[in-house]
């Protein structure tokens, strides 16, 4: 999909990459749920098809939004993390979250987190950005304990 660039409008350019039903959900999983592996994205409630997921990951990587590396602890796994450019999409996700919450059933979402996103947008963005940076710098989460791995430069 979205093969050719349709125009030079920056919104159209964004939409050539992000304008489908799945791409931004993958980024959401990375930012809000700290998911990093193929099977973790597959496990998301919405149920993306594996070929669609593979396609989106390739496209995001080619666009420089995410990067891919082999997991040193388990050679089968590929770890996907946001690049600096990908991190700049966090405001977008926050806005989508706030906007969609008004359209959908509010029971579905912790009102406190939503209110924080709406009323303290900047600090929310900073919070998630820092969390991504932290998990990116280190070894990611330990997949058994789901605790942060050894930080970069630690003994």
Binding residues for DNA (CB under 7 A)? 1-3, 20-22, 37-39, 47-52, 54-55, 57-58, 68, 71, 74-78
Q: Report the C-alpha gap between 129 and 114 in whole angstroms.
A: 17
Shortest distance (Å) from residue 109 CB to its own copies: 6
Q: What angle do CA 82, 86, 88 make, to 5 degrees?
A: 130
Collapsed DSSP state (helix, strand, coil) of residue 46 = coil
Binding-site partner at residue 49 among its own copies, DNA, none, CB < 5 to 8 Å by type:
DNA
Shortest distance (Å) from residue 152 CB to its own copies: 26
Enumerate binding residues for its own copies (CB under 8 A): 1-2, 5-22, 24-25, 28, 45-47, 63-64, 85, 88-89, 91-93, 95-105, 107-109, 114
Shortest distance (Å) from residue 137 CB to its own copies: 22
Binding-site partner at residue 95 among its own copies, DNA, none, CB < 5 to 8 Å by type:
its own copies
Four-residue CA torsion sign, 113, 114, 119, 123 = positive
Collapsed DSSP state (helix, strand, coil) of residue 152 = coil
Cβ–Cβ under 8 Å, residues 142 and 72: no
Collapsed DSSP state (helix, strand, coil) of residue 139 = coil
Shortest distance (Å) from residue 51 CB to its own copies: 18
Q: Report the C-alpha gap between 151 and 155 in whole angstroms.
A: 9
Binding-site partner at residue 105 among DNA, its own copies, none, CB < 5 to 8 Å by type:
its own copies
């Amino acid at each position: 999909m979205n093969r050719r660039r349709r125009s030079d409008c920056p919104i159209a350019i964004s939409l050539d990459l992000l304008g489908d039903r799945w791409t931004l959900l993958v980024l959401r999983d990375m930012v809000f749920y700290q998911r990093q592996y193929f099977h973790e994205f597959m496990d998301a409630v919405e149920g993306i098809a594996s070929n669609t997921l593979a396609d989106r990951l390739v496209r995001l990587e080619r666009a420089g939004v995410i990067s891919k590396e082999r997991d040193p602890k388990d050679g089968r796994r590929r770890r996907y993390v946001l690049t600096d450019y990908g991190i700049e999409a966090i405001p977008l996700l926050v806005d989508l979250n706030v906007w969609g919450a008004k359209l959908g059933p509010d029971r579905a979402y912790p009102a406190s987190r939503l209110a924080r996103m709406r009323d303290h947008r900047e600090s929310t963005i900073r919070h998630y950005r820092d969390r991504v940076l932290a998990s990116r710098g280190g070894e990611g989460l330990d997949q058994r304990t789901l605790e942060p791995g050894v930080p970069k430069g630690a003994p």
